[in-house]
Amino acid sequence: MLLIPAIDLKDGQCVRLKQGDMDQTTVFGENPAVMARSWVKKGARRLHLVDLNGAFAGHPKNEQAIRAILKEVGSEVDVQLGGGIRDLDTIERYLDAGLRYVIIGTAAVKNPGFLQDACTAFGGHIIVGLDAKDGKVATDGWSKLTKHDVVDLGKKFEDYGVESIIYTDIGRDGMLAGINIEATVKLAQALSIPVIASGGLKGIEDIEALCEVEDEGVEGVICGRAIYTGDLDFESAQIRADEINP
């Protein structure tokens, strides 16, 4: 089970939002590269970056901070990035800079042709982020709820050749309300590609519960607010996960 620390970037700083609300921001670090290094030292094998400004603007906004992170740790761990990635040139630029995975969210739902092109051009490097509430997919920084069913879209994108899917329950994200394990497993069981859980991670009990369903296709979990507030000790949690499923 991969425990993946999230580094959410806003105006060049490391922050956390509550339920995707840019007005409910807590700053956790001024230097993203230093933050990235600290998680790698604690045993992280992958990092999850989000360009929050980019997600709302529709194009990269924190590229300087992202490049600093890649320069600091990109040769040691896999780094994945989402937020405002809407064209193939942006994907190519980030992959050339050392990024391992590009996460396509809103653009995958609104412009599936772009996702297909990305999978064709950059096979093995494309992850889709599906953000949902009550089984329906949300777009545009979670501000718009669509009628698309999560499982149906997941199957469609699997056929395109995406590497994996990050499933976020947006009703729980940043709220320390606990991972929606039932919905995550439901999606994973419907697919043959891995699913990464996200949204609401609360503590070690969530990690242990996810380890129990790893065989269903749940590859990892995004660790956000809980590892910054101290509700979850990242280092010991990754060790515990490795003990459960060596």
CB 164 within 8 A of CB 196: yes
Q: Which of 104, 172, 173, 188 is nearest to 139 (CA)?
A: 104
47 pLDDT band, cuts 50/70/90, is very high
- The predicted model scores a pTM of 0.94
Q: Which of 115, 111, 213, 103 is nearest to 158 (CA)?
A: 115
Q: Looking at the annotation, which residues are catalytic?
A: 8, 131
Mean pLDDT score across all residues of the chain: 94
Pairwise CA distance, residues 187 & 135, whole Å: 10
Backbone angles phi, psi at 30, to 5 degrees: -90, -20
Reduce the DSSP state of residue 65 to 3 states and report it. helix
Pairwise CA distance, residues 231 & 203, whole Å: 6
pLDDT of residue 145: 87
DSSP code string of 87-115: SHHHHHHHHHTT-SEEEE-HHHHH-HHHH
CB 7 within 8 A of CB 47: yes
Q: Which residue has the higher pLDDT, 10 or 171?
A: 10
pLDDT above 70: residue 174: no
pLDDT above 80: residue 72: yes
pLDDT above 70: residue 86: yes
Pairwise CA distance, residues 2 & 114, whole Å: 28
Q: Span 81-109, mean pLDDT?
A: 96
Largest CA distance in the chain: 42
| Both tokens assigned to 92 | 């190519």
- Sequence-ordered list of residues with C-beta below 8 angstroms from that of 213, at least 6 positions apart, any chain: 181, 184, 185, 188
Query: What does the pLDDT look like over 126-148, one tens digit per residue?
Result: 999 999 988 899 887 667 888 99
Query: What does the pLDDT look like over 48-68, one tens digit per residue?
Result: 999 999 988 989 999 999 999
22 pLDDT band, cuts 50/70/90, is confident
pLDDT above 80: residue 177: no
